[in-house]
Amino acid sequence: MLERVVAACDGASKGNPGPAGWAWVVADGAETPTRWEAGALGTATNNVAELTALERLLTAIAPD
């Protein structure tokens, strides 16, 4: 049977552009977070923040 894994990411800015940040989380089948990362971007648009979150998530979970 395959293991269920849940991954989510988000980014936001206050103003557009404005102070921005991003985050991602990976949870196991029981929805317990197993890995996460978050960071600030300085001044950026909401789109840059969203795409940064996705890029960092995909980089972190990429197969070796």
Q: Looking at residue 29, what is its pLDDT?
A: 86
Instruction: Say what the pTM is.
Output: 0.88
Residue 20 lies in a domain: yes
Residue 28 lies in a domain: yes
Residue 1 lies in a domain: no
How far is Cα 35 from Cα 45, in angstroms, rounded to an integer?
A: 26
Residue 25 lies in a domain: yes
Assign residue 36 the CATH number of its domain.
3.30.420.10
Tens of pLDDT, residue by residue over 14-63, are 999 999 999 999 999 899 999 999 999 999 999 999 999 999 999 999 77
Domains in the chain: how many in total? 1
Buried b or exposed e, range 17-50, using 16+ CB within 10 angstroms: beebbbbbbbbeeeeeeeeeeeeebeebbbebbb
Token reading at 25:
């989380």
Token reading at 45:
């648009």
Residue 15 lies in a domain: yes
- Indicate if the pLDDT at residue 9 is higher than 70: yes
| Domain ranges, residue 43 | 6-61
